[in-house]
Structure 1
Amino acid sequence: MSPSCIINQPTAFLTRCGASDRQLFKLHLSGGFGGGGSSNANKKVSGKGSQKSSSGKKMNPRDARRANEQLAERYGGDVRRGTQERILSSLESLDPHVREAAELYKVITKFDALVAPMTPADRNRLIPPIQSQMVDDERKKLQTIMEEHNISERELHNVYQRITWDASADAKAIQADIVGNAMKPELQGRVTKACEIAVQATRSEFALGKVLDVGCGHGAIVRSLVDAGLSEPDMYMGIDLSQIMINNAVDRYGSARNGRTGKGRHFVADDFLTHDFGAGGMSVFDSVIFCSALHDLPDVEASIGRAASLLRSNGGKVVIVHAQGAEHVLEQHRANPVMVKRGLPTSKEWADILKKHNEWGLALEYDPADPKSARDMKEGYLAVLTKDSDR
């Protein structure tokens, strides 16, 4: 589910003179995706150019050209600009107190990310006291709103995630259709490896035959899981915060049915951290896979803890993959800390996290490559956690 940065205004504004002008803190959303969510966001692009390619086949050039033209037309002539407009429109449509809280959260998060790597001396030298005071005032105001309206930081993070992914959902899905849902070969190979690990967990002695895809988007890795051997549709569940992403996933991959049980793939639009999996009858899985998704969630540790609670014992696996690598995610964080709160855990960080949370029963089976390492450039990011037999 990983975006190019949406809220991508440079944070260098914090060191400008004249910072007492509150307009310095009125950041705007800038582009990075295509697509948009709107009241008619789930309408298909009409004509031959709209033929979907969930089979993995690229559209022929004529159909691809038509699909691109129809997509651009649908978003006012420019997909990127249309996406930005939909993001801004969605923000404006929020309840006033939520909109104000979200704006304050954005400003504070950007400021905190800017000053976090600074030494105290650098902060005193580069950040005028009046700017720090303004942010402190904004922080108090945000805290008041959150307490009065019972809003959490996770929910504010999810406001930006949901709006952004809703806005980009249709175009991302259609653009994937055009290329047959294919990535560059070297990136696809990394995703394929992760999917093979997730599927292999469904074949062991204690397997239940279930895979959970967190941040599934429009079903981007369904085909990769099928190619890796996830043959029965009802072995798969995908969850995503964006309803429009889920609508696209259902439209493309929800029609397949298990010939024996009559059941199909299960897609749900909800918050992974709070969703009641038991209500859908799929509360335990052989593997939980985060493909380009973990860093989009508001709390990495809580997300891994939730995944652990959904895993079967005796070899259930959490698989975290980002084909573009750990350094790519760090670049996203630096450019857009509102959407990407932190980088992916390093091997050392995983050791510390798992030691801290021994109750999860997870062990690091496959160490990820560190950012900027030769291995990160060659392999991308892949971490595999296995649940032991006693949990």
Structure 2
Amino acid sequence: MSKRNKKETSNRAKQAQRMLKIYGQDVEKGTEQRISNARKSLEISDPLLVEAMGLRRDKLRWDASIANISVLAESRIPQSSFSQAARREARLSILLSDHGITSQDSHNAGQILTWDANAEARAFRQGGKMSDAVTAALEPTLETVSSKMFKEKSVSRICDVGSGAGVLVPLLKEYGVGAEQIVGVDISNEMTMVAGRAHPGATFVTADWMTYDGDGGLFDVVVFLMSLHDLAEPIAALTKAVDLLCDGGSIIISHPKGAEHVEMQNRRAPDLVPNLLPSFEDLEVFCGQGDSESERSLELECFEGDGAAGYLAVITCCRGGGEGDMGEVNQEQEEPTGLER
């Protein structure tokens, strides 16, 4: 066995011991217990936030359960269920209006509880990398990132939004992107610690994307890899990305399993996956608005979102008028149906 293999085996053994200590013999039960413990701690420090988080979860699940049902199916639901849902929504409105709690706050709290609890287990299962099937599906994304990174500059910066355990780092390294060029942003402190431990050289920041300032710098590429649908307001998140882009920079939205997979996740857990991936029309409207803070325009350079076989959208920020014609976007299908990291 080579020294490198011995080191990898030793590191894997240490990770296994850490897993056992954190989660016990049953990782699923251990994860649930970690979420429960964190929730109890938060109930002590901020009980109204925990209440808002629970009400938001219940509202999203209720809305999902009655979406697109037939009149006959709706008639079979007890009226008391509708009354209870109305009371929950009224209470949530009071918390949001009278107690200074925002929808973003309750969304973030749920995301932090979930991803903090899952961080070590997810990192161990992934082994610091994506599966072969997912890696193969990501090849168009990685090629696009690489081409954008080295288009004009010898040194560029990329921001990985919702970076999780940092699995994008080794993939980008294979395409010539250095770890020091990568900044990962994730709302889960446990995730950023796991990522930093696994991928030295890259920078990982614990922050809410909507308040992140880029640490004083701009980026050549902002990538949302399997993360945009997890954010509370996807269009607002894209607007934030534009604010942190260099002239000529690009936003890349990617999901190797496609829009239909995200739609399934949204049906099953709308509190954790509150949104679908944006459609061609969504992004066309977004780009048409341009960058209101400057003279820059936005060009939808590529859209491949057929729903089942992967999703890739590329938006480029141009100084002055766009360089392309929206009618000539590389688009496979205009209307795709719309816990990953």
Map 1:291-330; keep pairs closer than 5 Å: 291-314=225-248, 316-330=249-263
Q: How many residues align?
A: 312
User: RMSD in angstroms over aligned alpha carbons?
Assistant: 2.5
Inter-CA distance 323–97: structure 2 relative to 1 (3 Å threshold):
same
Map 1:141-290; keep pairs closer than 5 Å: 141-177=91-127, 181-205=128-152, 209-231=156-178, 233-254=179-200, 256=201, 265-277=202-214, 280-282=215-217, 284-290=218-224
For 1:363-387, what per-residue CA distance to the aligned partner results, in whole angstroms no more than 9, with x for missing partners?
221112232xxxx33xx11111111
Mapped to 2, the partners of 1:369 and 1:276 lie a distance apart of: 30
Cα offset, 1:346, TM superposition? 2.2
SS at match of 2:122: helix
For 1:177-219, what per-residue CA distance to the aligned partner results, in whole angstroms no more than 9, with x for missing partners?
3xxx333323102324312322322222367611111011121
Indicate conservation of the 8 Å contact 1:56/1:223, yes or no.
Answer: no
Inter-CA distance 69–206: structure 2 relative to 1 (3 Å threshold):
closer
Mapped to 1, the partners of 2:167 and 2:7 lie a distance apart of: 15
For 1:118-168, what per-residue CA distance to the aligned partner results, in whole angstroms no more than 9, with x for missing partners?
35x346413332211211111111111222321111111111111100001
Segments of 5+ residues of structure 1 without an aligned counterpart are 1-54, 257-264
Q: Who is 2:20 aligned against?
A: 72
Indicate conservation of the 8 Å contact 1:207/1:286, yes or no.
Answer: no
Amino acid paired to 1:321 = S
Which of 9, 31, 36 pairs up with 1:83? 31
Greater relative contact order structure (CA < 8 Å, 6+ sep) = 1
Q: Who is 1:385 aligned against?
A: 315
Mapped to 1, the partners of 2:33 and 2:16 lie a distance apart of: 19
Calculate the TM-score normalised by the size of structure 2.
0.83
Indicate conservation of the 8 Å contact 2:258/2:311, yes or no.
Answer: yes
For 1:10-43, what per-residue CA distance to the aligned partner results, in whole angstroms no more than 9, with x for missing partners?
xxxxxxxxxxxxxxxxxxxxxxxxxxxxxxxxxx
Cα offset, 1:73, TM superposition? 4.8
For 1:243-282, what per-residue CA distance to the aligned partner results, in whole angstroms no more than 9, with x for missing partners?
111111121223x3xxxxxxxx3221000011222xx232
Mapped to 2, the partners of 1:334 and 1:200 lie a distance apart of: 35
Calculate the TM-score normalised by the size of structure 1.
0.73
Q: Who is 1:363 aligned against?
A: 299
Looking at secondary structure, tell me which structure has more strand per residue. Answer: 2
Inter-CA distance 358–286: structure 2 relative to 1 (3 Å threshold):
closer
Tell me which moved more, 193-202 or 208-217: 193-202
Mapped to 1, the partners of 2:30 and 2:125 lie a distance apart of: 15
SS at match of 1:320: strand
Q: Who is 2:267 aligned against?
A: 334
Mapped to 2, the partners of 1:246 and 1:57 lie a distance apart of: 26
Inter-CA distance 208–162: structure 2 relative to 1 (3 Å threshold):
same
For 1:43-90, what per-residue CA distance to the aligned partner results, in whole angstroms no more than 9, with x for missing partners?
xxxxxxxxxxxx999955x97577546523531211111001111111
Mapped to 2, the partners of 1:274 and 1:90 lie a distance apart of: 23
Segments of 5+ residues of structure 2 without an aligned counterpart are 322-341
